[in-house]
Structure 1
Amino acid sequence: MTAPRPTTADATSAARVHAPHRLVSTVLGLGVPALVLVATALVARSWYPDLPDPVASHFGTHGPDEFTSAASFVVQGLAFGAAFAVGGWAIAVRLGRASTVRRMGTGLAAGGATLTSAATLGALWAQRGLDDAAQVVVGSSITLLPIVVGAVVGALAAALTPGDAAMPATTAVPADAPHLALGHQERATWVRQVTSRPLLVAIVAMTAIALVTTSAAPTAAPAVAPFLLALALVVAHVRFTVTVDRRGLRVRSVLGLPRATVPADEVLHAEVVQVAPLRQFGGWGYRVGAGGTAGIVLRKGEALRVERTGGRSFVVTVDDAATGAALLNTLAGRERSATGS
């Protein structure tokens, strides 16, 4: 991804702009997961006398297929939960100049730690009182419930993470940034829709897996529930509408969520860049890239990148990004003139 041009005083190096609300992010990203993980360890330990030895540690479509000691199983679950917490917290406090990134970080930290804790306790709960762990029945406590609980806690943590204060730009859009010729009273709106082919392929593959699994083993329906939830998440990211008008940049999923907005008065400048999803963002969808750049990344190639106040940046892969960037710069400049900035 090409680096933005340092053309104005507002374009302070992102490396020198610290993420705000670090205390709240730490409480939600480390404090909440720590409480969840400690509680999980204490509850699991109290169940040890009621558990078979060894316990089932992995479940396939036909039931448990791996076994270990209860203590090892719990330690493994806590380690995964701690990894989610530390990783999400690091994203929030190191890269979270934008509220979107902070919320992704705290949601990942609290939700991931809760999901692994609920999965650990759910698996142990299903085995309490059994003489042989191979007798355990795979139900919602092992498959669906941990995902739901983790998603709820993650969403709450994200919702409790403070948003961004209004930060109108105080300098003009750079003269060398691309602009679109518009009359003084002329209005314009640019709209494009973009669909992710990689995610369409993922939808087909996940649907096929779910159908094959349930047809081969009808009793494995509970194990397919996570696939269906993941499928819904992928569907929400497969197609977006990108709009540039006098309000700024708006990106909206075909399902309404996720969505993103960059107000016109916070635009420093917009430009066209080339994006490599795996190398720069680790995949497709609503992502956080290097340096804390938030992005809706649906494919490789041309993208519209917006540098905004507060050391924040946003990227969306879309056709005709040059026109969108030029119009956004023009309308952002007009907004400055209207407000006297």
Structure 2
Amino acid sequence: MHARGAGAGSRVTLQTVADVVGVSRATVSNAYNRPERLGAELREQILDAARQLGYPGPNPAARQLRLGRSGMVGLLFTEPLSYAFSDPAAVLFLGAVARECETANAGLLLLPSPPNSDMARTLRGAVVDSMCIYSMPEDHEAVQAVMERQLPTVFVDQPRIRGTAFVGVDDRHGGRLVGEHVTALGHHNVGILTPRLLADDYVGPVGDDRLAASTFRIFKERFSGIRDALRHGPLPDVRITTQERNNTPEDGEAGAHVLLDSEPRPTAILGLTDQLALGALRAARARGLSVPGDLTLTGFDDIPEAATSDPPLTTIQQPLVEKGTAAGRLLLDLLQGGPAKEEMLNIRLLVRESSGPAREG
């Protein structure tokens, strides 16, 4: 069968194919969307005519609108897209979410919204059935855009909004465990390395006003838990120095050098993430400091490198894979009309070789 051309400049549509083959529009639609309703010969005749006419098939977006379902899950996070593939904690979390989506034959659309980006407009038009919001400030305009759409949404880490699905851990408790650990080891001079606390480009020491204003709840909670344990522990006159940096080993190293230049020099540096703590380990090596003989180091997250660093890193273990699995499962449950549940996952302190008693004198 040779299809008759639609004419130069004519727009080829579903009806064009139907007219050429001599069937109804519904039959052509079935050839693409419900092939089981047609015999193999008729379907091939229709598809062959469509190819000759240059018809690309039904518009996917229009079809999704008709069906009321896109088959896509959106995942919004507050870092550049490269963060999703480079930060070990994010990689473990995102991989687990993706595996849950695969079980339901759903796609995963990554939607980065770093500081100073305009993602709200994109989010209002994103063709997704549900949304996972991963560690975003509550007042971020992208979060507000998602809430306005009233999509089934799961929040991970932050924000925590009453009546919505949530997955997280007790970050303040984790910080308190770290603070109690280094206090028990006799450390009076302690440095804290934190990722950014506000959506700006600030680097430097963290004052009370900045901590109080922080919109990144998980780091504010970890910081506050550590500080509470140090200030209200059994050791008198604990001195705390701080540095706020981006969450990379390179920034952790730079921040650690600043802390180590202070007088008196800290005998312990506590990273609010493993990435920052591993950067501090680089700084210690560059200065010829023994870990933990001269300097105790701790982290938070328990990414794979924490267990294989030299020495292995004392850290708070949070279940990153389980967190992603729980988020994906809750998303799929919401799509099936399930309730908005909260899941708080367990954490624990893993004491490894990077922490030891404070050196006297």
TM-score interval (norm. to shorter):
under 0.3
Higher RCO (C-alpha 8 Å, min separation 6): 1
Give the structure with the larger helix fraction: 1
Q: What TM-score do the two structures reach when normalised by structure 2?
A: 0.25
Q: Which structure has the greater CA radius of gyration?
A: 2
Give the structure with the larger strand fraction: 1
